[in-house]
Structure 1
């Protein structure tokens, strides 16, 4: 279980990302308890973070195009082909070569690299932490036009200040995510599969 700060005084605790409910007023009306786009995409970024092997910081990112389609996801980790057991996860060693910072690829960079052939110009990126200056460069170069972030806890650090300077000068908008739901949970046992059917009923054969 991990805490992700919205700001310095407010936290959202996600135990198992996304709660799906089947409750609806009636079978002929749409279900009202569905996720907003922002909640859906930020939850997708948090779900991607669950794949991170980093013991101290798990960050996920999700890229969304203008038609609300997810075109790339990523999480922080070592480059493809580098064993998670061969490189250090430490961040406090006096020897820089024994710290993770020399080797880890950030979630935003992985999401951009994982976009496959999708055109992400004009898209938006959802991420738990405000991007560092190195990720900001990639975001700008890839054509992403909006960044939605959960936490700005490093706001006073130089790499975040530099990021905002880059975004401001290059016309990339950024805003802090404001959740509609304080807790989103995935429960694979929530859905009653015996009562779920997307196909029309099979017509009965006449005698």
Structure 2
């Protein structure tokens, strides 16, 4: 979870900084990622001021993370925020077995999806570097 937190610090989003980390079946770090814009996109002036208007352009940390590995390579995902419904579906499609998160995201169906697919799903709030 500490790796996910550190990754979140790289996010340019002034309203919500989300980080995620992936570990393989030998508990080696595969990669870290954060929420942000597509690689190479330069946000025009004022882009970050309109939170509602820019949300559809933001790539979630989990989606960015999945771009770093192949299906079946990752056992554990740690994310600073509970995955949204779409990200949880994506993590299921990639064969992730366990998901740990820090902050609850009320609008997410992730707990129900995890239960249905038999994925370990746990909130973690006590870890090194916890900003709380």
Measured after TM superposition, the shift of residue 104 of structure 1 is: 0.4
CA displacement 1:125-161 (0-9 Å, x = unmatched)? 0001100011011100000011100111x33x2xx1x
Tell me the number of residue pairs that the alignment of Structure 1 and Structure 2 aligns.
130
Equivalence for 2:61: 107
RMSD (Å), alpha carbons: 2.2
Alignment of 1:110-121 (within 5 A): 110-115=64-69, 119-121=72-74
TM-score (norm 2): 0.86
Measured after TM superposition, the shift of residue 71 of structure 1 is: 0.5
Equivalence for 2:99: 147
Conserved in 1, the CA contact under 8 Å of 2:18 and 2:80?
A: yes
Post-superposition, which runs of at least 4 consecutive aligned residues in structure 1 deviate over 6 A? none
Greater Rg by CA: 1
Matched, 1:80 2:27: no
Unpaired stretches in structure 2, ≥5 consecutive residues? none
Distance 1:65 1:81, change over 3 A: same
Which of 38, 51, 72 aligns to 1:91? It is 51
Matched, 1:52 2:8: no
